[in-house]
Amino acid sequence: MIDADPNRPFQSWERGGNAPTNLKIVADVDEENIIDKIEDAAENTPFVIVDLEGTASKIVVLAVSQADLVIIPTQGSQLDAEQAGRALKVIRQQEKMARRAVNYGVLLTRTNPAIRTRSTAHIVEGLSSNKISVFYTQLHEREAFRAMFSFRLPLSKLKPEEVSNLNKAIANADAFTSEVIERLREAKDRTAEEAA
């Protein structure tokens, strides 16, 4: 995990001392060294996740240039959708500069698992009608996702008696992880077909 958000949320989370042993957090990242940090991490692990701030900065452009999949999180509001639009512009610019398609998906976050609001449905419809890739899985509003950072624990170490609906949060996270892996496999297969 490369924590390139200036607020360093994952570095702060790791300081709780409960991070899994197979997870390394790299936080000494800036626009001068981010590509090297990504390449170094990719040599040592099959998955490198880069957390970035939500602005169109140089560091974001550099990270996108190295990505196999860009995940654009957005909440189900028009203001958040407009912010996601800015991220999509960065992707389009990167595609023009590199002359290659960038694999990406918009991820709806903090959604209500029981009720699909009209505003969320409107945003999904707008994204889909503009042929913008949207993840099928949404990350729901769950106490467990907040508790991870409050208690500085991974989901697997939270206690069900202290966090409501923990099993649902874990299932939600697992579904999202599976969809991410499937998208990465599909992109790898497409690249192999194009090379052949």
Backbone angles phi, psi at 174, to 5 degrees: -65, -40
Q: What does the pLDDT read at residue 94? A: 86
Task: Write down which residue in 36, 51, 66 finishes a domain.
Answer: 66
Both tokens of residue 86? 């800015």
pTM here is 0.88
54 and 78 together in one domain: no
Question: Domain range spanning residue 52?
Answer: 1-66
> For residue 26, what is the DSSP state?
B
Q: Rounded to whole angstroms, what are the CA distances from 78 to 127, 130, 168?
A: 11, 15, 27
Tokens of 175: 């579904």
Q: Final residue of a domain: which of 66, 93, 109? A: 66
Residue 56's pLDDT is what?
Answer: 66
Token representation of residue 169: 């949060």
Low-confidence ranges of the chain (pLDDT < 50): none
